[in-house]
Structure 1
Amino acid sequence: MEKIKNIIENTDKKDQEKQFTTQPVENQPQGMDPKMAAHQANPGPAIPKDFGNIKEEGTKEERRAKAASMNQK
């Protein structure tokens, strides 16, 4: 054990492993657990307001034919 302590004490700081710590999360809502903050960051996909007004191109058969022709290439 002494041999290992001597090796560690006699090595340069640049040769030793770096120590990292986790930084605290700033400005989090009150009552939120900091461990769960990353899971609350993205509430979901962005949905445009006029999403219901989008028109489909062609009829159902035309869309299937176009999809079939694109998948054959």
Structure 2
Amino acid sequence: MAEAIRGHWSIDNRLHDVLDTALGEDASRIRKNPDVFAHLRHFALNLLRHNGQSNIHAALYDVSVRWRTVFS
């Protein structure tokens, strides 16, 4: 029973907590088609994880710094 409970909370900690803290999903004020932007956030998170990133917040910062150097 304890393993099932820990397994359930690992989903919440691994997905929803990252979406809330790193991507600011709870603070989003998008009212038209919010599901599209939710899919984009999930896609970005999955893309970062697929590339081996474990610290999503730091990875987003690195991407933003590189983005500025490419287009400036």
State the TM bucket, normalised to the shorter chain. Answer: under 0.3
Greater radius of gyration (CA): 1
TM-score normalised according to structure 1 size = 0.20
> Structure with the greater relative contact order (CA < 8 A, sep ≥ 6): 1 or 2?
2
* Structure showing the higher helix proportion among its residues: 2
TM-score normalised according to structure 2 size = 0.21
